[in-house]
Amino acid sequence: MLRRRFGAVSAAAFVALATAAGPASAAAVGSVQGGLAHAQISSPAIGEHAEALVAEMTTVEQAASVVMGHIPTTDAGALRAYMQQGLGGFILMGANIPATDDELQTLTSALTVDPALPPLVAVDQEGGIVSRLVGDGFPASTVLKSQPVSDTSSAFSARAALVARAGITVNFGTVADLTSDPSSFIYGRALGTDPQTAAERVAAATTAQEQIIASTLKHFPGHGAAPGDSHSAVPATAETIDEWRSTDAVPFVAGIEAGASLLMFGHLAYTSIDPAPASLSARWHEIAREQLGFDGVIVTDDLGMLQSSGIPEYADPVTNAVSAVVAGSDLVLMIAGSTPDTAGQIVRGLADAVDAGVLPADRLADAATRVMTLRLQSTSATTDWAPCPECEPAD
């Protein structure tokens, strides 16, 4: 995986040019990236440091560190108080985005209680259909799927810079689902209509973003094969594992090989493999880890969506969170229906599950270590950006 850190001056210049370029100038923004040189500095000690930090935590602290919460407000004080629970992350939705860039940067700064260990701050910035941030006029999936792959690289470089400028470290922005059906819920957000074209653009989007922020592939194992909207149902497909490997898996494999930091599991049931939603399926987590070789952070899609399905066994977000971590997820995401109390309830539920023997202590520690590693990587000086003397400046 590629890790990143902006130098303050070069990052500001990069983003200023990106945001000024506008939708017609994504290629020019790509040339801005070409005018910067970066040197990747490996830091294997980060993982050891993360493991040591987690070992010193109580069970409750470990549980809090694997929860990515949300409350719908732009009140910086309220957000800071919320994050004092020790949560590992926060996701910004539309209701968190203030009117100006300065206000947004103040808000994201308020999410950090301990400057030595900032939380993961995430956003769904796909561009186009799903956009939270103002100023993203860069090409999105609706047009990128029919344009050269280089256009995807340029667009996502610019998009990542916009995200980073706001103080956001994680983008849930790469849709690795594929479908050729225009009536599909996910068609407009997918980067390709067949395995190969989707894989090429997913890899390009991943490589571009990972220079700057932590990128995410979603919605594993693939929404295209499962008709319906997972915001209000658990879409299902009878696709077999062999069929999946030759179709829906291909873009995810490409994104993993390109170095994606996170893999988001969808609430999708591939019934021939496991009748449970992938987000709660130990089998699908095993496939991701052992067959696809993904070693980053596995995050659930919004657990509130499971509640919204109306299926009785998924009515309790605490139970859903415990089931997800037991299955192999590292970070549980809760948005829909979340109140200021919901994250704390999930934290207590995870800790109680460890005490009851339902959630193995080493599984929670493993999840906490993966999340902690990504938090440390996101703040470490593993990539320095500096002017590239031999490169031509952007026009």
Task: Tell me how far apart the alpha carbons of residues 175 and 287 are, in angstroms, rounded to a whole number.
Answer: 19
Reading the block at residue 370, the tokens are 């993966």
What region does 336 belong to: left with phi over 0, alpha with psi -120 to 50, or beta? beta
Vertex 375: Cα angle to 203 and 369 (nearest 5):
100
Reading the block at residue 76, the tokens are 């910086």
| 301 is annotated as an active-site residue | yes
25: CB partners within 8 A, 6+ apart: none
Residue 300 in contact with residue 324, Cβ under 8 Å? yes
Reading the block at residue 361, the tokens are 């202590």
Task: Tell me how far apart the alpha carbons of residues 191 and 210 are, in angstroms, rounded to a whole number.
Answer: 17
Task: Tell me how far apart the alpha carbons of residues 129 and 148 are, in angstroms, rounded to a whole number.
Answer: 20
Catalytic site residue from 231, 274, 316, 384: 231
Torsion 8-152-89-59 (CA) sign? negative
| 229 is annotated as an active-site residue | no
Reading the block at residue 290, the tokens are 């052992």
Pairing of strands 36-40, 383-387: antiparallel
Q: How many residues does the chain have?
A: 395
Catalytic site residue from 151, 177, 248, 301: 301
Residue 222 in contact with residue 248, Cβ under 8 Å? yes
The residues annotated with a catalytic role in the active site are: 231, 301
